[in-house]
Chains A and B, each alone.
Chain A
Amino acid sequence: MKNPEDIIIRPYITEKSNAEVANGKYTFIVDVRATKTDIKNAVEKLFQVKVLKVNTAKYEGKTKRLGVHVGTRPDWKKAIVKIDLDPKPETYLAEGGKEVAINKKYKTSIEEYGITQ
């Protein structure tokens, strides 16, 4: 479960989540076992964005019955990830005292993934 692709399952698109996109909050369905830190790392790696905050919510699968057979739907976890809409270029000192700046990509790939404004 270390791969970011395994953590982030799919985007969660509803009227509510769609409205929050304007504020930089993207909602995903994630693996139930993933922690907030896992989610943060996965999103940063997958979409090249800077994550400011992660809120999660766990949902228990509903109990369904088909005739005499009783079963449950799988539990799932929702994560609302707030990303930095105005990222500052990060700098670090490379070998020999040079300062190198990395531009954090902003929002492009995350939108390609299925959430658009």
Chain B
Amino acid sequence: MNVKVENIEKNVVQLEIEVDAAKFEEGMQKSFLKNAKKFNVPGFRKGKAPRNIVERYYGEQVLYEDAINFICPEAYDEAIEKNDIHPVDRPEIDIKQIGSGQSFIFTAKVTVKPDVILGDYKGVEAEKVEANVTDEDVEKELKRVAERNSRLITVEDRGIQKDDIAIIDFNGFVDGKEFEGGKGTDYHLTIGSGQFIPGFEDQLIGAKTGDEVDVNVVFPEDYHATELAGKPALFKVKVKEIKVKELPVLDDEFAKDISEFDTLEEYKEDLKKKLRESAEHKAKHETEDNVINKVVDNASVDIPKVMIDKHIDRLVYYFGMRLRYQGLDLDRYLNIMGMDMDTFRGQFEKKAEKEVKTQLVLEKISKVENITASDDEVNEEIKKLAESYKQNEEDFKKHLSKDDIEYIKGNIVVRKTVDMLVENAKLTVKSGNEQEEEK
């Protein structure tokens, strides 16, 4: 097999592959065996005609198509492997010479992975995000937990105060007439939540259970129902019940109720630990992202359009999958959003470009730095995966295809590369809290 490689455009390579006659003959034979059942020659039962009779009767061209299908992929794969070409798209195949007894020559035009020109990737300056968990954070978290465990208590001996929940019936009139949507029964209104028109909730303060209150409000000018905007309205409101949110007392008892700890102190400790863990995790990720972004910015790549398109395809596909979990499909979603497919895809373009570039840059760095995954590391990773799927390691291994292992290997390499980059980066410290405040 002879292969001539030619760069015809940026990132496009043309391979001229010559397959020798014997190999071609083998393909022809395979092709004949595959199609033998189809040929119908007078004097022979269907599928019983020998190859030479078939070739004489139909011409050997009938066998070409399948012969090519047998030979090309094999020859093409071999050619790209030998010449270390990394295609990102299907090849465009063009036949140059074909015929039995001759060598078979074809050209394959294919877009290849672009060359990455790396900028500085060691010692890039990046912000280091630090995990910082204060007692304040713990208190906040504790409050949230308390809120979740709160109960509603009915009060009867006082009027409505701020933050109470009033259960009301209301009926609204504009110009002495009822209007659509102005009526409600057993509505749970949290006073001070600003759910209703401004002024409505304030006027209820002080009302007691069983009171009937007339509330006069003016719809704001920018009210969403235009026929009501700017008009004065009268609401007849009946207060049926007043409820107060009672937060549980934060003590050992509470800790016992909601966790496996006996004292509040212990629970707080645990909470702090968990918060720290998640904060550290997040901080690590953000730091990594910062470093990677810097490195990627420093590098330059001329990404072929097919790669971006393919990545957009993938993103759109995942988006569609997520929609399906919510019981929607992509077509309907686009309909609702009033978008067509092109604009929708356009939204992903930036993201796709960035992700592709990141991937290419990381790949290149791992190659330059010679970062590989050893078998031990792969096994370790498989073990971890098996655990997370709650499967026996051996069983799990059996189900892994070669591609899967390749994929795991790739992941390890990427992780190691990122670790290497972070290690070598000049990190300027910035705490997580400060950043939040800045926002």
- Residues in chain A near residue B177, CB distance under 8 A: none
* Stretch with Cβ within 8 A of A (4 or more), from B44-52, B60-68, B132-140, B319-327: B44-52
- Digitize A1-35: 1 where CB-to-B-CB distance is under 8 Å, 0 elsewhere: 00000000000111101100000000000000000
Minimum C-beta distance from A21 to chain B (A): 10
A108 contacts the other chain (CB 8 A): no
Minimum C-beta distance from A56 to chain B (A): 19
B43 contacts the other chain (CB 8 A): yes
Contact B52 A15 (CB under 8 A): no
Q: How far is the CA of A38 from the CA of B44 in the complex (A)?
A: 29
Contact A14 B44 (CB under 8 A): yes
A116 contacts the other chain (CB 8 A): yes
- Residues in chain A near residue B52, CB distance under 8 A: 116-117
Main secondary structure of the interface of A (DSSP, over half): loop
- Residues in chain B near residue A14, CB distance under 8 A: 43-44
Minimum C-beta distance from B47 to chain A (A): 11
B328 contacts the other chain (CB 8 A): no
Identity of the chain A residue whose Cβ is nearest the Cβ of B45 in the assembled complex: A15
Minimum C-beta distance from B59 to chain A (A): 15
Minimum C-beta distance from B367 to chain A (A): 56
B53 contacts the other chain (CB 8 A): yes
- Digitize B45-84: 1 where CB-to-A-CB distance is under 8 Å, 0 elsewhere: 1001110110010000000000000000000000000000
Q: How far is the CA of A18 from the CA of B50 in the complex (A)?
A: 9
Q: How far is the CA of A16 from the CA of B367 in the complex (A)?
A: 65
Q: Which of A90-117 contact B (CB under 8 A)?
A: 114, 116-117
- Residues in chain B near residue A114, CB distance under 8 A: 56
- Residues in chain A near residue B53, CB distance under 8 A: 13, 18, 116
Minimum C-beta distance from A3 to chain B (A): 26
- Residues in chain B near residue A13, CB distance under 8 A: 43, 53
Identity of the chain A residue whose Cβ is nearest the Cβ of B52 in the assembled complex: A116
Q: How far is the CA of A45 from the CA of B48 in the complex (A)?
A: 33
Q: How far is the CA of A17 from the CA of B41 in the complex (A)?
A: 14
Minimum C-beta distance from A8 to chain B (A): 18
Minimum C-beta distance from B376 to chain A (A): 60
Q: How far is the CA of A97 from the CA of B212 in the complex (A)?
A: 149
Q: Considering residues A12, A18, A114, which has the most beta carbons from chain B within 10 angstroms of its beta carbon?
A: A18
- Residues in chain B near residue A12, CB distance under 8 A: 43
- Residues in chain B near residue A116, CB distance under 8 A: 52-53, 56
* Chain A residues within 8 Å of B, Cβ to Cβ: 12-15, 17-18, 114, 116-117
- 20 contacting pairs across A/B (C-beta < 8 A): A12-B43, A13-B43, A13-B53, A14-B43, A14-B44, A15-B43, A15-B44, A15-B45, A15-B48, A15-B49, A17-B43, A18-B43, A18-B44, A18-B50, A18-B53, A114-B56, A116-B52, A116-B53, A116-B56, A117-B52
